[in-house]
Structure formats: structure tokens, C-alpha cells
Structure 1
Amino acid sequence: MTGSKLPLLNNATRDLATFAALLQYEDLPRSVIERIKTSLLDSIGCCLYGLTLPWTQRVLAMVDEDGGKPVASLWRTGRRTSISNAVLVNCTAGHAFELDDIHKESILHPGSIAIPTALAFADRAGKVSGREAITAMASGYEVGTRVGNAATMSLFFRGFHPQGTSGAFVSAATAGRALRLDATAMQHALGIVGSQAGGLMAAQEGAMVKRFHAGRAAQSGVYSALLAKQGFTGIVDVLEAPYGGYLSTYSDAPNAARLTDGLGTEWETAKIGYKPHAAVTSIHAALDALTYIMQSNGLHANDIMHVDVGVSAMTHVHCAWPYRAQGVTAAQMNLYYGLAVTAIDGVAFVAQYHEGRLADPRILDFIARIDACIDPQIEALGPAFRHAARVSVMTRGGITLTHEIMNRRGSNENPISPREIEIKFQALTESCLSPRDIAQIIYLCERFDELDDISELLALLAAPRLH
């Protein structure tokens, strides 16, 4: 009988909840604090750009119609709503254009969930210090990524989107810490949110709904924490339950030990990476390998006869499906489109994923010259190298040129600098912020841990956008 099975890991939900509830700023290593501050700027930039996009505007229109107690801002609108509705919009915006931060093992983008959630609660509370907000964010980052780690890539291969599933735990822990739930209430918050986790990966092949997964996960986490504060109960062993628990249901091959391995000493938050390209993380190494070959040899797109790409099985399943012009999401998730637009434009950022480019004959012609396969050598390296790529280019002159990248640019192993994050922020926000406001947000994020009151930053985010 299912009831006789042992838990996957004794007291795992309780232990994670206790950690999140009791976490103090003083417990955080400097590396975690600095990573959260970098993610703060990066995530705000992603959100502010994402708020300008049509799919986020549709969510915003629904929330405007729905109403809500005006306690938290809908960023760059000058309007306020409930915390749950604010995070639905702001977190959808954060995941709206494949630009948000990434934790490789968990396959999560915690910044687009944790940061708007923590700031929404700070908005409602009034005077909140940067240190207190950082602590709430770190609680969400740490709990959510550990849940994703334990679910393993099996969750993805089963067809679930980690952002909508494991991401719900990011928000629940963030919200619970912002509300200062005790350990028991935090355990119930996690137990409630586990029943709300959801998101299907088929959304990547032509739908707006993938963007919504981050917003819905955040809203579910907020509901869960608020319900737990009211004494509403959840599944107290939601993560480790042998039947109907999160890991036993969503994953065919869970690794429950990853829930608490090194808890409080090995920080998953310090492993967060960032995106220089406006595309799914799994193809970044391939894009950069192609760029390296072309720049090193003075090649243009017309000089290339054929491109062969070797990737991990995960990347192949995720991104190497036949490209069809069926929407921006599909283009951003597709290996062939990303390589083609990189070859032609030399970059894969915002402009390259405009609706008007998706069926460009030059792009479609170049896609016909690309083959992708699972590279057995990369696959043998295991999940830690699932983003690796080996690219071979055959020129029209009959020369074959090969380059491989094992750790993508922007990853924890191959990081980009804080200055590069600032440049990305400026590029994303120049259409919706004045130069003065851009500079001030950068300044406030740099000094976020020193701020006794983050109201100035919240006010800048709340103000109506430039037209």
C-alpha cells in the first residue's frame, strides 16, 4: 500500500521551512549578498522591459479589471493593487522575454519570482531595510532552487516547466519570510504551495502562457504564505511524501538528498548566473561558439555552407525541434533560430526576436544549413554540463572550423561582470526610464544592503513609465 512507503527524506519539508523562517541577514555569506544585489538590478531590468510587452499588458489589463486592495504597485503604471495581483503582473514581466537570471541545476529563474515578491511585501509594509528584503529574497532563492535540484531534470523531461512548478516554492518561502512566519507556519506555506504548482513545457512551442508561469507561481506562493498566516494548513511533508508528494509526483527520478545537502553552509544562491542573450539559456554556449568562429575568421553568414552543433540530450529535447514561425516564445526557445539570427546579425538580443523577424527568408535559409545532434562526449559529462556545445562550421571554401564551450558565458563558472549587468539594464530600460532614473536605480541596487529604507527604489519602480 502507498501509505506504508517510507518518506523520500525524513523531515525535509520541516527542515527547509525552519531554515527559511529563522534565516537572518547575518547568516548570509558576502557572496550571497552580492549575488542577490546583482540579481536585483538584473531582475528589475527584466521586469521593466517585460512590462512593455503585449503578453504582460494582457495580464495587466485583467488585473486592472479585477481590482484589489491598493497596497502594492504595478510597476511603472502609477497604479496599485493587492500583493497577489501585483506579483502576478510584475513576475510575469520578469519572465516575459527569456532574460531573467538562471540557476542551472534546478532549471529555475528565481529572480523573476523572489525579487518582485519581496518588494511587493516591502511596498505594503512601508519602511523596510535593504537587509530585510535581501533576507526574504535569499530565503526564496535557497528553498526554491533546492526543491528544483531535488526534482532533477526528470521533472522537465516529464513535460513540466520548472518555473511554474518548483518556482512556486521560491515565492512561498520569500513571502513567508517577508511575513515573518514562524517555522510551523512556513512549513504549512510550503505544504499549501506544493498543491498549486503547475506549468507545462509545451507552452514553449507557440503560446504566451509560458511567461505567465512565473507570475502564477509567485501569486500561488503569496496566497500560500497569507493562508498559512491565517492558520490554514498544508501538507506538512509535501516534498518528501512517498505518494502524492511534490517529488514523488513530479519527478520519475528525484534526488531528495539535494533538498538539504549543505543547508546553511553551501549556498545555492551563490551559483546564480545571468543571461547576455534574449534566448533560452540552454543555447547560449552554441550561440557564443558560433560567434567565436565567425569573428575569429572574419566570416559572414553568406560564407557559411553548413553548421553542425553537438549538445546535451537536455538541450536537444528542449531546443532542437524543427523551427516554425509560431511566435516569439518559440523563436527564443529554438536552437536553430538562435544560431541563424546570430550568424546574420552577430547578436541575439531584443531586436532579433521582434515579430517581424520570425519568418525572415534569410533566417529560414540559414536554418536549413544547420544540423543538431546529441554529442555523446558532452552527454557523458552529466547534468553539470547540460549547457555545453560543440559547433563546427563548414565554409563555402571547404574549410571546417570547430569551437566548443563547456560553460556558457554568464554562468557561475564563466561569469559576466557587474558592469555587463549594468549595460544590459541600461539597454532594457532606456525606452521606459529617464537616464537619471536609470542611474539612480543602479546606484540604489549597488548600495541596497546599506539602505535603512528602500522606499526610494520602490517609488522609482511605481512611477508611471515614460511615453
Structure 2
Amino acid sequence: MPVASERFAHHVVSTRYESLPGDPIEHAKVFILDSLGVGISGSTADGAEPLLRAASRWGSGEEALVWGTGRRAPATTAALVNAFQIHCQEFDCVHEGAVLHPMATLLPAALAYAERAGGISGRELLVAVATGVDVSTTLGVASKAPLVFFRPATAGGFGAAAAVGRLAGLSERQMVHGFGIQYAQTSGTMQPHVEGSVVLPMQVAFNARAAVQSCDMVAAGIPGPIDTFEGPFGYMRVMEGQWDLEPGLTKLGREWQISQVSHKPFPSGRAGNGLIEGMMRFIAERPFAKDAIESIVVSGPPLINRLCARPDLPAPNGNYARLCAAFIGAKVLQNDRIGLEHYRGEELTDARTHELARLFSMQVDDNPDPNALVPHEVVIRAKDGAEWRWLCEAMLASPSRRLSREQHLAKFRTCCTFAAKPLANATVDRLIAAVDGLETMTDVRDLVAILADQ
């Protein structure tokens, strides 16, 4: 029986565009555009400019574009910085079952490689996205343990390596070695999450850069370990602890995980999106006045508490605030919405926000699944004893509650307004049209050229 790395490699290398059903192709295009938009907006987020400045010391060259900036860099640097920009605002798409953001590592690595290599078609990019997402999310869904290592970085890196290896034309055996070299570079724990550190999205960036490096090393003839995932010191045993890969492996080529990816309709950790929707529903219904609220309690699975039950701080950084339910909820209560701008500058220290944050608390229910995000309930109590309740059984923009095309494009257009180097409306329109017709593009450098035309 082939080991998991060999089964993954066969799937990545043998899949042909013609064998992909329409649904995964369309969803690949949706989340390519979404990830480009979020990455563009990240060019003005905290940490983006210092990271690019630091990375400029590690080599020179103009192989690939740093999105939203007009600047070019070596492919490895572009993969690093663009991956950071995608994940640094918690606005990137997510596979809820796997508890990871598969496109944050994959797309920056794949596009950076494609720019450097040239001649890679839109069809090949779509296959690389679909198969790479299958690799990372299959690893994530297989886990039966709570997060210890940061899965969007660790498992996400294998998906990125798969995508780059596919574009590089690696053989199945070379792809197996590529996974082994990627594992040697794999990094990322939950400690930066606990502390609200800017290093959290950098962990995604490190693994995206490693994906390009891993495939370059394989192409140069360097072999890697074989039993990367299930070996005695393999990824699943060391970084996940409890797992069952077989169900996911048997689905390869039959069920496409890109079709199970969710948008982030709101810029916060996915665990906070239900609270945001609940608050917006409450505000729309207004069963009692905002100033009559005594408490707001979110009750749900252990994971959402682990991810966003942190205490409010009087002067948090944006990374901490995006994963703090009290801060998130207070901003919605204060503004009737929440946007990227609410995690920047004076918004982070606004006294009224932190006053309202005292209303919020979180409770753990009896859900035994350590990776479940739903169901959870928002309960708002008034000072006179009245209550308003809302049960989130499926997150907004999950596969069962998808965003409309209009909502998807509205998010993309909004993200583009946060670019470090502004994009003209006509450029944004051209980007949308190019991704819509990606299967007809003979060289994806044409897509990046539109983005560079600022």
C-alpha cells in the first residue's frame, strides 16, 4: 500500500483539467479572486512594510510582484510577503472542517513561481489550486486533536508545495521528496495566536516561501524523506497527535475540497464571524435599545472559546483585536458593522469601544469535537430581564450559506481600496474579468500584469 505522501503525489501529478468538474473550477476562481483582494488590502496592514523591508536584505531581483505595492522581488520574497498580506487581517477564506486557510499559503507561492517560470496557463493554475487545497485540507480534516501547531501554516505549507510542484512539472517521485523537504521546513505554533502577535500570519508566510524553496531543491536533485505524514516522526504523529487520514485519502479525485471552502464575510477570526452576524441581526431587529443591554454571552464549542475568548485590552494591536470577541462585538455594537478600518490607528484605543467590550463574555458548551466552530448561540439580555437569542448553526458564507456573486465582488472591491498603491476602478474590473476567464489565459503572468498596472 503506498504511503500517504505517495497517494497525495499521485493525485497532484495525475489530475488533468479536463477531469475537474465545473464546481471546483468555479470555486477555485472565486477564491483566487478573493485571496488576491485580501492580499492587496494587506499591503497597508500592520507589519507588511517592515516585513518587506527586512526581506529585501535576503536577496535582490524582480521575479514576482508584491501585491498592492507595485514593487517586485525575488519569487521567494514575493511568496513570503503576499502570504503574510493575505492572512494578516483574518479576512482570508477558510476550510472550516480542516480549521485552516488553504489559499493563504498556496496562492502566493503558486503565483510567485508562475511569474518566475513563465508560460504557465490559467488551466494549470486552476488544477494546482484544486489539488493543493485537497492536500492541505485532507491533512486538517484528518486531525482529531485540538490545535497545538498552527495548521494554516503547517498543513497549509504542504498544499502550497503541492501546487508549486504541480506547476513545476515535478514527477510523482519528485513530489514525494518535495513533501519531505517541506516537512523539514515546516513551522508554526499557537503561541503567537495566544499573544496576538504579528508573527502569527508570518508563520503562514514562512511556509509559503518554503514551498517554493522545497520544489526548487527537488528540481535540483535533492531527495527528501518519504514517509512524511504517517512515519514514526511524521507530520501527523508529531504535529497533530491523533488522526485518521484514510477517509480523506479515499476521497481524492472524487470530492474536491475547494468546493468546501468558505468566504470570510467579516474581517475577524472565523470563530468570531457568528458573533458578528448575530450582533448585526440584533441591530436590524432592535427588540430593545442598545443602551438597555446588560450582557451579551456567546456559548459554543471549545474551539471558538480557545480562538477568541481572550480578554479585551485597552490598547491592543490589530492582530490581538481581530481575535478578541469582546472587541469585535463592541465594534459592531458601536458602528452597526465592522470593517478593516476598525483595527487600525485610534480605533484600537477608542474608549467607547472598550467600555462596550465589558458587556461581552463567552461560555463553553458540551460539544465534544475539538475542531467544531458551530453551533453556537448569542444571547443578549436587557437590564429589565428581556432576552434576544440567535443560534448560529452554519456560518454565513459557508458552503450551505454562500455569498452571492454580488457580495463576493463587493468584498473584493472594498479590499482593493486599501492597497498601498491605489488601483483604478478600471484595473479592478479587469482583474475580475481576467479571473472569470482564467481557463482561457495562456500565461498567468498576464493576470499579475493587470495587478501591476496601477
Q: 1:424 matched to which residue of 2?
A: 411
Q: 1:269 aligns with which of 225, 249, 258?
A: 258
Q: 2:181 matched to which residue of 1?
A: 192
Gaps of 5+ in 2: none
Superimposed CA distance per residue, residues 141-198 of structure 1 (whole angstroms, 9 cap, x where no aligned partner): 11111122223443x1x3x111221111011101100101000000000111112111
Alpha-carbon distance between aligned partners in 2 of 1:230 and 1:403, rounded to the nearest angstrom:
56
Q: 1:18 matched to which residue of 2?
A: 10
CA offset at residue 439 of structure 1?
0.9
Does residue 459 of the first structure (1) align with residue 449 of the second (2)?
A: yes
Contact 1:309 1:373 in 2 (8 A): yes
Q: 1:296 aligns with which of 279, 285, 288?
A: 285
Please identify, of 251-260 and 281-290, the stretch whose mean Cα deviation from structure 2 is larger: 251-260
* Letter paired with 1:417: S
Alpha-carbon distance between aligned partners in 2 of 1:66 and 1:333, rounded to the nearest angstrom:
31
Superimposed CA distance per residue, residues 241-299 of structure 1 (whole angstroms, 9 cap, x where no aligned partner): 0x211001012211222440311101111100001111000111122122212311255
TM-score (norm 2): 0.94
CA offset at residue 314 of structure 1?
0.8
**When the two structures are aligned, how many residues end up with a matched partner?**
449
| Corresponding residue SS for 1:231 | coil
Q: 2:330 aligns with which of 340, 343, 353?
A: 340
Alpha-carbon distance between aligned partners in 2 of 1:336 and 1:55, rounded to the nearest angstrom:
24
Contact 1:307 1:393 in 2 (8 A): yes
Please identify, of 127-136 and 61-70, the stretch whose mean Cα deviation from structure 2 is larger: 61-70
* Letter paired with 2:381: M
Alpha-carbon distance between aligned partners in 1 of 2:225 and 2:114, rounded to the nearest angstrom:
28
Q: 1:248 matched to which residue of 2?
A: 237
**1:172-251 equivalent positions in 2, closer than 5 A:** 172-204=161-193, 205-241=195-231, 243-251=232-240
* Letter paired with 1:170: G
- Over 3 Å counting, the alpha-carbon distance change for 1:322 and 1:77 in structure 2 is closer
Alpha-carbon distance between aligned partners in 2 of 1:81 and 1:361, rounded to the nearest angstrom:
41
Q: 2:435 matched to which residue of 1?
A: 445
Contact 1:172 1:189 in 2 (8 A): yes
Q: 2:23 matched to which residue of 1?
A: 31
Q: 1:391 matched to which residue of 2?
A: 378
Q: 1:134 matched to which residue of 2?
A: 126
TM-score (norm 1): 0.92
Q: 2:346 matched to which residue of 1?
A: 356
Contact 1:285 1:388 in 2 (8 A): no
Alpha-carbon distance between aligned partners in 2 of 1:305 and 1:184, rounded to the nearest angstrom:
62
Alpha-carbon distance between aligned partners in 2 of 1:449 and 1:295, rounded to the nearest angstrom:
41
Gaps of 5+ in 1: 1-8
Contact 1:10 1:240 in 2 (8 A): no
Q: 1:402 aligns with which of 367, 377, 389?
A: 389
CA offset at residue 17 of structure 1?
1.0
Contact 1:102 1:108 in 2 (8 A): yes
- The alignment yields a C-alpha RMSD, in angstroms, of 1.8
Contact 2:287 2:388 in 1 (8 A): no
Alpha-carbon distance between aligned partners in 2 of 1:315 and 1:333, rounded to the nearest angstrom:
10
| Corresponding residue SS for 2:233 | coil
Q: 1:171 matched to which residue of 2?
A: 160
Contact 1:285 1:405 in 2 (8 A): yes
CA offset at residue 55 of structure 1?
0.5
Superimposed CA distance per residue, residues 331-381 of structure 1 (whole angstroms, 9 cap, x where no aligned partner): 1011111111111111122122123122322222222222210123xx15x
Q: 1:434 matched to which residue of 2?
A: 424
Does residue 43 of the first structure (1) align with residue 35 of the second (2)?
A: yes
Q: 1:82 matched to which residue of 2?
A: 74
CA offset at residue 423 of structure 1?
0.2
Contact 2:38 2:86 in 1 (8 A): yes
The percent of aligned pairs where both chains have the same amino acid is 25
Superimposed CA distance per residue, residues 278-332 of structure 1 (whole angstroms, 9 cap, x where no aligned partner): 1000111122122212311255532311112111111111111222233111110
Contact 2:88 2:319 in 1 (8 A): no
Please identify, of 71-80 and 192-201, the stretch whose mean Cα deviation from structure 2 is larger: 71-80
Contact 2:120 2:167 in 1 (8 A): no
